């Protein structure tokens, strides 16, 4: 384990209260920023005090928990705040497929946070001034097909529908990717700023080049309390208020979307029940209205049995039916058969964890993998037995517009 740490000596960590820093994202330097922001609160970070590539396989979350336990356990911590997200923090991104390379944990050198009216700064090692430069526009964006063209993806949807109607499975979530190339190197901070401004109710995140604004909270862990927000069932926004309300009502009444949502809720219930001494799941979903789409949503809360880390919950929940399908193993086989691509971090867990085991993790949706001038955009749709390929393609295109907006402004 000591080789994987990449550390010559224990971390020295100092957390102090600071005055309100204003816009957290505006404090980020350009190089490799990390972020987890919603309604202006959360964490931003930069630098790397420690980093590890998490080995793929079925025990990857357990391996990650042990690595963090070793790293944080050896740290010298002076924490004046004692809140979730204070002291040493690691940001992480896990691939959707457990057998894929690319999962990573990073302990940033500097973390700036604001929560519940307090703000704090955490530094690891010697304090250093990091230069904040103006945001850079990437210029003109050119798009290209990803793994499948639009007609090919519609054909994949049709094949999934046939397998569902045959009784092989109940639901499969198929993802689509799109490539983008910019005139100039893409400034992740600009994408974060645009996303946080336009989608304040989503969790705007950045970790190791994976950037997005996800509406789906996989789990929030605070002490023994956990929260999760289950989303499944989607409709586009209307052209005016009356049309908007009509589409929301139609979504709420849709047998297909309600059944898709029920599958997702039940997968979360089954995952959390063994870990919780208490679990509350609403009987009816509510409508979550975002700026571009509407979702059926169910907030789930519970109380964990003693000693569980947020990564234990993430391990139990991933992949949910909302991003995989039902039954899980069959759906994953259909995904591998029909998508024709590696999802990388898309639809995988992304978030942060502190030394107490508290943290917030979302599902990496409405996101893109950024590298230099290039970006790979992702979107996915829940396919049911009565899904229409053209309608699913339109839904995927609506979801892709989130990151297209972030790139283009």
- Identify the CA nearest to 218 among candidates 130, 350, 397, 44: 350
Tokens for 5, please give them.
């740490």
d(CA 346, CA 271): 21
* Catalytic annotation, pick one of 30, 154, 171, 395: 171
Q: Which residues of 299-337 are buried (b: 16+ CB within 10 A; e: fewer)?
A: ebbbebeeebbbbbbbbbbbbbbbbbbbebebbbebbee
- Could you confirm whether 48 is annotated as catalytic? no
Please state the separation of Cα 113 from the chain's center in Å. 19
Set 30, 154, 216, 360: catalytic member = 216
Residue indicated by tokens 């002490």: 223
Neighbour tally for 175: CB within 10 Å: 23
Pick the closest to residue 42 from 201, 235, 258 (CA basis).
201
**Residue 399 annotated as catalytic:** no
CB 121, CB 109: distance < 8 Å: no
State the sign of the Cα–Cα–Cα–Cα dihedral 60, 329, 208, 223. negative
- CB atoms inside a 10 Å sphere around CB 97: 19
> Phi and psi of 250, rounded to 5°?
-65, -40
Coil, helix or strand for 11? Answer: coil
**Alpha-carbon gap, residue 345 to 101, rounded angstroms:** 10
Show which residues are catalytic. 171, 216
């Amino acid at each position: 384990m000591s080789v994987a740490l990449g550390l010559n000596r224990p971390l020295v960590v100092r957390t102090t209260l600071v005055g309100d820093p204003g816009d957290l994202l505006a404090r980020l330097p350009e190089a490799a920023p990390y972020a987890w922001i919603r309604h202006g609160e959360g964490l931003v970070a930069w630098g790397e005090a420690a980093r590890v590539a998490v080995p793929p396989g079925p025990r990857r979350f357990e391996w990650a928990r042990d690595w963090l336990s070793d790293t944080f356990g050896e740290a010298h911590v002076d924490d004046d705040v004692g809140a979730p997200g204070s002291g040493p923090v690691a940001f992480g991104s896990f691939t959707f497929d457990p057998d894929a390379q690319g999962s990573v944990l990073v302990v940033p050198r500097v973390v700036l946070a604001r929560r519940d009216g307090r703000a704090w700064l955490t530094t690891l090692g010697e304090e250093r001034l990091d230069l904040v430069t103006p945001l850079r526009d990437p210029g003109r964006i050119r798009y290209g097909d990803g793994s499948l063209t639009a007609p090919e993806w519609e054909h994949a949807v049709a094949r999934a529908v046939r397998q569902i109607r045959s009784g092989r499975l109940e639901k499969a979530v198929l993802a689509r990717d799109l490539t983008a190339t910019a005139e100039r190197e893409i400034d992740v901070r600009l994408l974060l700023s645009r996303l946080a401004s336009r989608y304040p109710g989503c969790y705007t995140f950045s970790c190791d080049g994976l950037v997005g604004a996800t509406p789906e909270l996989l789990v929030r862990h605070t002490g023994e309390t956990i929260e999760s927000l289950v989303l499944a069932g989607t409709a586009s926004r209307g052209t005016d208020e009356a049309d908007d309300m009509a589409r929301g009502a139609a979504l709420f009444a849709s047998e297909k979307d309600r059944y898709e949502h029920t599958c997702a809720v039940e997968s979360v219930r089954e995952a959390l029940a063994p870990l919780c001494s208490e679990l509350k799941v609403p009987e009816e979903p509510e409508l979550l209205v975002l700026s571009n789409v509407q979702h059926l949503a169910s907030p789930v809360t519970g109380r964990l049995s003693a000693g569980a880390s947020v990564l234990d919950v993430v391990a139990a929940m991933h992949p949910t039916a909302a991003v995989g399908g039902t039954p899980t193993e069959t759906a994953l086989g259909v995904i591998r058969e029909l998508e024709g691509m590696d999802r990388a971090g898309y639809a995988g867990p992304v978030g942060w964890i502190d030394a107490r085991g508290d943290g917030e993790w979302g599902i990496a949706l409405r996101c893109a993998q950024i590298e230099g001038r290039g970006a790979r955009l992702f979107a996915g749709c829940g396919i049911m037995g009565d899904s229409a390929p053209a309608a699913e393609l339109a839904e995927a295109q609506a979801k892709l517009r989130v990151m297209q907006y972030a790139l283009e402004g």
